[in-house]
Structure 1
């Protein structure tokens, strides 16, 4: 198997891990949870498309940028595409398969209540993470509803062994041009949607083309890769503290959601502020500065973020259905569901995700009994 070429490490050694970015993953997962809690509390928000909705959409975009940054930063010079894909599969697929099975069991138990649920082919497409390539409501809502983003992540991982050497070979000027080009693509995609793909005003077509379709999200992943590589080359970038960067993201969501068309809010409006936020947080570790996000509780929550992302909507939905049937208000049911979702994510992480990463990320023993000791996977989910 062809090895990925070595990239220069820049001026001086870099830490192998960036724990502050792990803590930031929990903030991203929290944004998604916040949006789903708001929607469960007031379903009418789904049609109003207010800031509560765009917090979650921006959090997903943050996951994609984070994924590209961490993978590019932590890539090993002697790594192979096959080893990389194996580690990513060990991280992503076990949790996904288990939560998909839970959804299938829940739908089977629901019986006639699930009569209008997606069909068998739709659910199988969701299990194989290819459902978001099809512009069909049944396909994109099949399986675990939040797993749509995993289809995009797996598309990124498939391309990463090709993208990484290309990014690694770019000069500093080429990296700046590449980052500008990726940012331009983030903006060009909703423009294409608005003027060509969804000229008839179809909300679902625009939603699918801009938000769900994996190639539409690839520029965000590449932006993260470019940012990591620019930092590794030692190129001087404007220093930005984490708090102003975070406030920049929040203000962008609040202000732009008031006047930009919805197709620009899924990623375009917040892409640059999110890259600046990731850069600012990474600098805390790269420069050895104090970081709240690096504290053990937030790093642990960051480790739980992928599991939390996958289980929170299922747990919150079940708790809300059960408690509202008993006369509870929606806000009260959501508050009860939050600690349940966190507990379920801890069980999924400790019982499935962590053991599978340890078991299946390692290379097979080489002839003669020697084998490579795997480095612990550090990339984001959610992806995550």
Structure 2
């Protein structure tokens, strides 16, 4: 006996999940701005100023924001997908219209930036990026080769490809089976980095964009962070929990308790070995929070992420995610020389005063948010209208939360 088909159950808007996307993007932004080490003199790799210590504590494991995105992606796509009223072509066309135009523009900008520095990326590298296959090779010069953050969109493209088939498999399961899928994914996120991640040893390249020594080398880093099949654990868990919520079979904490679990998970994650910090430590807490926010939206319960401003920030979060590292690279190249020329720093390599780091970080966030709004307004929205399927699909449950990329 199969479980009741969740496709017909519990329609509703999930505005809080749109708001959550902003906080996930903010974690990634924070991780990148902390990596600038604004409060530390250039070249002092073993030192960190007081302001940088604070940023490192808050955002040193900010890559968990990507994990939140992947779980959200599985949840929202499984929540909205209706195989009885939609075709594979229409589904994939909508996902292409959502992510590819902004992705393409960011890739072109990254290529221009590299070319302007005299470092023209190879044709093979560019080709892999254009077809969203860069994350399938364990080579940093490829998966981080243009706009580094877009490796995750290579994973998302894979998730979009498999979602219709994953959905059909998951909805055949009873509630106990769906719980087992979610729990098994969490367990594997702890186990696989110490099994499969140890089976292959790749030689360290002469130069690495991100040091892989703390996680066991180039293969272990790629496998535990970038490899689409491994990251599909989060996507599958999100999809399984969405079907539980849709069928009314989910049993989990309410929003206040889920937020407390996330805070505890974040602190616990800081103490885990580096190879587990990308997803394992906060995997279950994020699953619980996403489900709790969805239930709160359906039942009219309390949620701090449902307001109009949070929804707006969530709407532009994809563009914030895609463009923020390119903008921060420009800031990193020009900020200290500009401050030195203005007499605020002793030289172009000097550390920023502690009191100045906070305002500079906020200014960077404002810059990136403004650019994200502009990209959303003039690239994402108009291209979605132009590229999405012309003929509307059959009516489905109204859901405002769009899939994070």
- Tell me the residue number matched to 1:89: 96
SS in 2 for 1:56: coil
* 1:193-216 per-position Cα deviation (integer Å, ceiling 9, x unaligned): 443235996432211111001101
* Distance in 1 between residues matched to 2:86 and 2:403, nearest whole Å: 20
Instruction: State which of 264, 267, 273 in structure 2 corresponds to 1:251.
Output: 264
Q: Is the 8 A contact 2:323 2:372 kept in 1?
A: yes
| Gap change, CA 1:84 and 1:377, over 3 Å in 2 | farther
Instruction: State which of 70, 77, 85 in structure 2 corresponds to 1:78.
Output: 85
Q: Tell me by how many angstroms 1:50 deviates.
A: 6.1
* Distance in 2 between residues matched to 1:247 and 1:45, nearest whole Å: 34
- Tell me the residue number matched to 1:122: 125
Q: Which runs of 5+ in 2 are unaligned?
A: 204-212, 346-350
* Distance in 1 between residues matched to 2:230 and 2:66, nearest whole Å: 13
- Tell me the residue number matched to 2:274: 262
Instruction: State which of 69, 74, 99 in structure 2 corresponds to 1:63.
Output: 69
Q: Is the 8 A contact 1:95 1:352 kept in 2?
A: yes
SS in 2 for 1:169: coil
- Tell me the residue number matched to 2:32: 36
Q: Is the 8 A contact 1:319 1:333 kept in 2?
A: no
Instruction: State which of 373, 379, 388 in structure 2 corresponds to 1:361.
Output: 388
* Distance in 2 between residues matched to 1:347 and 1:261, nearest whole Å: 39
- Tell me the residue number matched to 1:368: none
* Distance in 1 between residues matched to 2:123 and 2:362, nearest whole Å: 33
- Tell me the residue number matched to 2:206: none
* Distance in 1 between residues matched to 2:202 and 2:195, nearest whole Å: 9
The answer to whether structure 1 residue 150 and structure 2 residue 156 are counterparts is no
1:109-258 mapped onto 2 (5 Å cutoff):
109-111=116-118, 114=119, 118-198=121-201, 202-238=216-252, 240-258=253-271
* 1:57-84 per-position Cα deviation (integer Å, ceiling 9, x unaligned): 2111000000111111111231111111
Q: Is the 8 A contact 2:197 2:224 kept in 1?
A: no
- Tell me the residue number matched to 1:3: none
| Gap change, CA 1:180 and 1:315, over 3 Å in 2 | same
* Distance in 2 between residues matched to 1:51 and 1:84, nearest whole Å: 40
Q: Is the 8 A contact 1:74 1:378 kept in 2?
A: no
* Distance in 1 between residues matched to 2:130 and 2:20, nearest whole Å: 28
Q: Is the 8 A contact 1:319 1:336 kept in 2?
A: no
* Distance in 2 between residues matched to 1:214 and 1:45, nearest whole Å: 33
* Distance in 2 between residues matched to 1:46 and 1:64, nearest whole Å: 34
Q: Which runs of 5+ in 1 are unaligned?
A: 1-5, 365-370
* Distance in 2 between residues matched to 1:104 and 1:186, nearest whole Å: 34
Q: Is the 8 A contact 1:28 1:62 kept in 2?
A: yes
SS in 2 for 1:55: coil
- Tell me the residue number matched to 1:285: 297
| Gap change, CA 1:171 and 1:96, over 3 Å in 2 | same
Q: Tell me by how many angstroms 1:373 deviates.
A: 7.3
- TM-score, normalization: structure 1? 0.86
* 1:96-115 per-position Cα deviation (integer Å, ceiling 9, x unaligned): 0001111112222223xx3x
Q: How many residues align?
A: 364
| Gap change, CA 1:288 and 1:211, over 3 Å in 2 | same
Higher helix share: 1
* Distance in 1 between residues matched to 2:47 and 2:382, nearest whole Å: 37
- TM-score, normalization: structure 2? 0.82
Q: Tell me by how many angstroms 1:151 deviates.
A: 0.5
* Distance in 2 between residues matched to 1:321 and 1:102, nearest whole Å: 16
CA-atom RMSD, angstroms?
A: 2.8
Q: Tell me by how many angstroms 1:170 deviates.
A: 1.1
| Gap change, CA 1:192 and 1:378, over 3 Å in 2 | farther
